[in-house]
Structure 1
Amino acid sequence: MNEKFNTDGAGEYLGLKPGTLAVWRCIKHSPAPAYVRMGNRIFYLKKDLDAYIESQRVVA
């Protein structure tokens, strides 16, 4: 089973404020990682957060 985080936990994992993730969810073309909505609750899967981190990688 994939580990899941709420918005606060995901923000801490990514080094972002939870409000940033909340704003990104509202923006149509945002850099937000994938998330899961269960009723009125939001969860982020660790594999999606890791994929987001990898997608931000810059190789110079």
Structure 2
Amino acid sequence: MKTKVQPGAEPDAVEPLDRMKVEQAAKYLGLAEQTLSNMRIQGRGPRYLKLGSRVFYTRADLDQYLRASIVETKDSRQKVAA
């Protein structure tokens, strides 16, 4: 597993490259942290990792959630069919 050290961080403060904290995931999705937390409590939204009391998201799961959230319109379907 690849890890990285944030500039100025302690050497033992490493995060896997694609693991995001709730704040980062909310920003990536364009949502408020509270909205993402509410979705998680309601059993909705993207998959997440729970390690103890800490919650993380992976970029792959966020991207999959975004792709699954695409709504096709009549106009978009016509353009694809053309």
TM-score category, normalised to shorter length: 0.7 to 0.9
Q: 1:37 maps to which residue?
A: 50
TM-score, with normalisation over the residues of structure 1? 0.88
| CA displacement at 1:58 relative to structure 2 | 1.5
TM-score, with normalisation over the residues of structure 2? 0.66
SS of residue in 2 equivalent to 1:37: strand
Q: Aligned-pair RMSD on alpha carbons?
A: 1.2
Query: What whole-Å deviation, never above 9, does each CA across 1:13-49 have from its counterpart, x for those lacking one?
Result: 0000011111111114x2x100000011000000000
Q: Which runs of 5+ in 2 are unaligned?
A: 2-16, 74-82
Runs of at least 4 residues off by over 2 Å: none
Q: Which runs of 5+ in 1 are unaligned?
A: none
Aligned length: 58
Larger radius of gyration: 2
Relative contact order, CA 8 A, sep 6+: which one is greater?
Answer: 1
